[in-house]
């Protein structure tokens, strides 16, 4: 079968939208244009303990090294903007905040399922001439760079990918395909002189526009960091206990974005501004049940409780003192001579 690249691309993008992806575009299978900036960011240590980001940067910045058969890349975006937190809950220091992306099911599972279905369609439509590999935030790819080249958006000053219709509340996925399809044109940036995201960051994680020091980012501190949160940053974390949305919430483009339609991203009731003290007293069994199929399980119970301890300390609520003491005593008993960093003075 002779594949018509233009027709196949048109049908592929239509099928991607039929699978529920609000954004879809084709990127050329060329090395990342942002490689020099990425390597400079790594050399400065801004990735913190995320050592996987520094492994083999050459492979990470060249899709053909990730999969030698790559001829082009389909990049897709899936909206997860499904909930607006109640102001009274947001302002209550006795309640915790989860980043919006973590309120529903784990996006890895949702996107992988959709991408595999899309790849199966492409292989069938291509009558054996089309093959591919799917990636969702786990393989050696710079998805954000590919998405920008595929016309899905531009790099915002908060380092998120921004789209004029979808804002930044969307996940990215990629299909490496063995066929060369016409690439889409990149879009222009529309941040202008705005710096709301830079000024709003509680921890001052943006060293300058487009440069994030992950070591100061609340999302990094509450998810990626394995040890205690640095003492000087704890008061700035506020009541965020998994991730942070501040730089996205103040972005004007997110005020224009429509809610997503994926039902699996609907927020779980237990995660909508929950009271902190009951979270601190959660058993392993309760944690496993509450966060089943949730991205929050990545921190494990120990990591979440560490974050809850920090948030409770920031709340100034004296009712939290007995719960904090019980948590510290429990961890000291169960961890023997090496107390856990769950609750640290």
The catalytic site residues sit at 137
Q: Where do the H-state alpha helices sit in 238-293?
A: 246-249, 276-280, 284-290
DSSP label of 159: S
Angle value at C-alpha 217, between 106 and 33, nearest 5 degrees: 80
Produce one character per residue of 231-255: b if its CB has 16 or more CB atoms within 10 Å, e if not.
Answer: eebbebbbbbbbbbbbbbbbbebbe
How buried is 7 (Cβ within 10 angstroms: 0-12 exposed, 13-18 middle, 19+ buried)?
Answer: exposed
Question: How far is the C-alpha of 282 from the C-alpha of 149, rounded, in Å?
Answer: 44
Please, are residues 78 and 174 in contact by the beta-carbon 8 Å criterion?
no
Spatial separation of the C-alpha atoms in residues 131 and 209, rounded to whole Å: 39
Which tokens sit at 170?
């969307």
171 phi, psi to nearest 5 deg: -90, 155
Q: How far apart are CA 136 and CA 132, in angstroms?
A: 14
Length of the chain: 345
Closest C-alpha to 144, from 23, 306, 323: 23
CA atoms of 95 and 89, how far apart (whole Å): 7
How far is Cα 45 from Cα 74, in angstroms, rounded to an integer? Answer: 31
């Amino acid at each position: 079968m002779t594949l018509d690249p233009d027709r196949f691309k048109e049908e592929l993008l239509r099928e991607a939208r039929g699978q529920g992806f609000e954004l879809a575009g084709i990127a050329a299978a060329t090395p990342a244009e942002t490689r020099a900036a990425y390597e400079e960011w790594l050399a400065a240590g801004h990735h913190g303990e995320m050592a996987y980001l520094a492994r083999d940067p050459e492979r990470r910045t060249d899709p053909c090294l990730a999969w030698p058969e790559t001829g082009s890349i389909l990049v897709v975006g899936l909206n997860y903007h499904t909930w607006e937190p109640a102001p009274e809950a947001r302002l209550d220091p006795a309640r915790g905040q989860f980043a919006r992306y973590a309120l529903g099911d784990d996006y890895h599972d949702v996107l992988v399922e959709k991408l595999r279905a899309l790849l199966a369609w492409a292989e069938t439509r291509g009558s054996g001439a089309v093959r591919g590999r799917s990636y969702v935030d786990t393989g050696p790819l710079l998805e954000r760079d590919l998405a920008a080249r595929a016309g899905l958006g531009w790099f915002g000053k908060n380092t998120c990918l921004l789209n004029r219709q979808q804002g930044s509340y969307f996940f990215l996925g990629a299909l490496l395909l063995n066929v060369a399809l016409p690439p889409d044109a990149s879009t222009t940036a529309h941040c202008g002189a705005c710096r709301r995201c830079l000024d709003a960051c509680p921890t001052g994680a943006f060293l300058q526009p487009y440069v994030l020091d992950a070591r100061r980012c609340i999302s990094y501190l509450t998810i990626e960091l394995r040890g205690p949160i640095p003492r000087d940053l704890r008061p700035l974390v506020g009541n965020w206990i998994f991730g942070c949305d501040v730089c996205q919430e103040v972005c004007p483009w997110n005020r224009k974005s429509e809610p997503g339609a994926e039902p699996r991203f609907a927020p779980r009731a237990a995660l909508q501004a929950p009271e902190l003290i009951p979270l601190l007293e959660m058993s392993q069994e309760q944690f496993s049940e509450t966060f089943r199929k949730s991205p929050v399980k990545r921190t494990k119970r120990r990591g979440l409780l560490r974050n809850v301890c920090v948030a409770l300390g920031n709340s100034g609520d004296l009712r939290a003192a007995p719960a904090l003491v019980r948590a510290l005593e429990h961890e000291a008993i169960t961890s023997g001579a090496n107390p856990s960093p769950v609750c640290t003075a």
